[in-house]
Amino acid sequence: MQELYVIMDIARNGVLILLVFVLFFTTAAQATTTLVNVYEKDGNISLIPQASVYADGALIGKTDSSGNLDFTHPGTSAISIRIEKIGYDDFSQILDPNLTYLQIELFRKNLTLETKVYDADSLTAIAGAQVQMTGGGTSGSAITDLNGSASFAVRAEEAYTLDIKAMNYQSRTATVEMGVDSKQVQYWLFRDDRFALVVKDDVTGLPLTDAEVAIEGVVRGMTDSRGAITLQLPREKVYNIRVKKEGYQDYNGRQVIGKDEALVTILLSKAPYNVFVSVFDENKEPVEGALVTVNGKEAGVTNKFGRLTLEGYLGGDYNLTVSAGEYADSHVPLSINAQGQDVTVELSYKIIDLTIFTQQPDEKMVDDVTILLNGKEIGTTDTHGQLETQVKVNTLYIINGTKEGYQPAGASVIFSNEKTSASVTLIMERPIDIGFVVIIVIIIAAVVGIILWIRRKNRYAHTRMRRSGL
C-alpha cells in the first residue's frame, strides 16, 4: 500500500513539471521581437543613430549606428511607441503586438533663421538688402525690411550659407550652423563708396585734428585725432576738395578717387602771419629801441611808440625775448595762430645790489640802525653798520635811518644803470645837549660883558686924563 502512495506522488509531481514546461513553451511562443529602424529622407535616405525609443512611456534603448533597435515584448496587446531625437519632430504610434519590423521616418524640426543687416559705420539698419539663403537641401531669397531684417524657414542641425548684397555696400557671405533652436544672426556691411581722407602737417608729418573738410563746396565734417575723416564718395570721379585748419594755409585742389583707392593724404603748410609787438615800461610808457629776438634770432627794435612788426612767421610756438639797456630782459612764450596778433611786453627796470652804511661824523660805524626804504622798514644794520638790499635803477628811493640816541638821517637817491651795485652812507649824529649849550652861551656872554666893561673903563680913564691935561 505504501508503495502505491509513493508511485502516486511521483506521478503527481511529474504532471506538475510537465504543466510548467508546457506553460513556459506556450508563453515563449507568444512573445514577439520587433526591430525598429529610424531614418530620415533628405534627398537620400539617412539612418538616424542615437534616437531614443520608448515603449508604453518607458525608455527601452537608443538606435545604433545603423538606426536600428530590436526589443522583445509579450505580443499579447498593442504597445505605444514614441521616438525622440534632438533636432527632429517626435514620432508616436501604436504598435500591433504581432508586428516584428517597424520603419519610422523622422522629420527635422522647422526653425526660423533671422538675418539682420547693419551699416558698419553708422550702425543703422540697412533696408532693401538682398539676402540669399542656401543649404539643408533648400534655398530662398528675401529683402530686408526697414529694420534690416530678413527671415527664412530652415531645419535644425543644418548648415546654411547666406549671401548678402546691398547697393553701395560690399557683399558679405557667411555660414550659419543651426542647432535645435531658432537663431538670429547680425552682420555689418561696409560701404564700397567708403573713403578716408587724412590731413597732416607737411613738415612734421603729424596728423592734424579738427581740420574742416568740404567736398564740392559742402562741409562734410572735421578730422579726428588721427587726422582722418571717413566719407562716402562714389569711385572713378573727380572731386573738388577744400581743407581748412587754423594756423595753416587753406588747401584747395581736385582729386581723382580711383576704384581701388582707400584714402588720400592732404598735406597742409603752416600759414605766415604778421604779429605786432608792443613794449612798455613799468609806468606804461612806450620803450623805444628795445631789441626783440625770436628763438634767439634778432627780429628788430621798437620804434618811438614801442612797436615792432614781426612779418611772415608761420603758425606755431616761439620764444620771444625783449632787451633794453636799463631794463631787465623779458622772456615771453609766443603762440602764433592768428593774423594781426598783438603781443604786449612790459619791461621792469634792472635790479642792482645796494649796501647801506650807517656811521658817525667821525666815521665810527653805528650798528642796529633801523633802515626804511621809501617808508617801508627793510631791516637793521649789523655790527659793522651795514645792511644789504636790492633796488631798481632809474627809480627814486628815499632812505632813512633811525636809532635811539641819534638824530634821524636820510638821503634821496636815483641809481643809474652803469653799475651792478651801489652804496649809500647815512651820517648818524647825536642830539645837542641844551643845558650845556645854555652854559656855554652864558659863559660867552659873561666874557663878552667883561671885555666890554674893561674897554669902557679904559675909555673913561683916557678921557679924564685928556681933560686934566695929562
Distance CA 457, CA 357 (A): 57
390, 409, 427 - which closes a domain: 427
How much is the pLDDT for 26? 46
How much is the pLDDT for 295? 94
How much is the pLDDT for 449? 79
Distance CA 335, CA 295 (A): 12
Domain that holds residue 365: 351-427
For residue 435, tell me if it sits in a domain: no
Residue 89 neighbours by CB distance under 10 Å: 13
How much is the pLDDT for 173? 95
Query: Which residue, among 162, 97, 147, has the nearest Cα to 117 in the 3D structure?
Result: 147
- With a threshold of 0.85, does the pTM exceed it? no
Q: CA distances (Å), 16 to each of 13, 93, 189, 382, in order?
A: 5, 41, 86, 146
What total of structural domains would you count in the chain? Answer: 6
For residue 460, tell me if it sits in a domain: no
How much is the pLDDT for 23? 44
**Do both 300 and 360 map to the same domain?**
no
For residue 401, tell me if it sits in a domain: yes
296, 331, 346 - which closes a domain: 346
**Do both 49 and 96 map to the same domain?**
yes
How much is the pLDDT for 469? 56
For residue 438, tell me if it sits in a domain: no
How much is the pLDDT for 164? 96
- In order along the chain (470 residues), what is the average pLDDT of each group of 10 residues? 50 50 47 89 84 91 92 87 88 89 88 93 91 90 95 89 91 91 91 86 93 94 93 85 90 85 87 91 91 94 94 88 91 87 91 93 93 94 94 91 93 84 92 72 82 76 64
How much is the pLDDT for 6? 43
How much is the pLDDT for 107? 86
Q: Which residues of 404-417 are buried (b: 16+ CB within 10 A; e: fewer)?
A: eebeebeeeeebee
Q: CATH number of the domain that 72 lies in?
A: 2.60.40.1120
